[in-house]
Amino acid sequence: MDLKQLIDTDRLPQHIAIIMDGNGRWAKQHGQPRVFGHHNGVKSVRETTEAAAEIGIKYLTLYAFSTENWGRPKYEVDALMTLLVDTLHKEIATLNKNNIRLQAIGDLSKLPSSTYRALLDGIANTSTNTRMTLVLALNYSAKWEILEATRQMAALVKDGKLELDQIDEATFANALSTRGIPDPELLIRTSGENRLSNFLLWQLAYAEFHFTPTMWPDFRKDHLFQAIIDFQNRERRFGKISEQVL
């Protein structure tokens, strides 16, 4: 069955977020070190990104590295950072070919200098692309992001540049690292885990969740299409009753 044909392109989510989980366990199942799983996950990133752009998704955010991931073994962290640099260098041509813009969120300045430079180069080299925006969450923590936004607004209030009664949801959202990006309507998490792991806690308040047992290195476009079909078969009420959203 061609799952793509089952998707209603008039009811696509504007923004899909993915927690790419299961690389290490996938590698273990194949009798390989964890880094082997991360390398094989790159193919999933490429195929998922191209498939999302192909059907008309406007924003795709991938949770690539959390602040908690620094606690992993040093060899794995170093390998991840090297892989990120290599992937950015190799995939920029593919992003440009597909008219995809690269952006990033997180505490980016804390990344290794080579990773940070490669990321900035990729963002600059794809900045004029308009088909889809690919957002990488790197050294990202939703709690960090919310605290940073709170500190920014507190400083503005202290300096007399913002009144307390001016702080509303829109003001707060504009202080987040995702300013200018619509909130995700669909969150996908791979590998059978059913938690958010400190990812986009504010932005996912009304997202639909799709959890799949598929490990990230095995995730392909049909898995993405199935998640979108699942999303389109749900009733999104936003606190209302069914009769009010018909």
Closest C-alpha to 183, from 169, 163, 193, 195: 169
- Catalytic residue set: 21, 69
Q: Which residue has the tokens 């505490």?
A: 107
In the chain, the N- to C-terminal Cα span, in Å, equals: 30
CA distance 172 to 200: 14
Contact 28, 35 (CB under 8 A): no
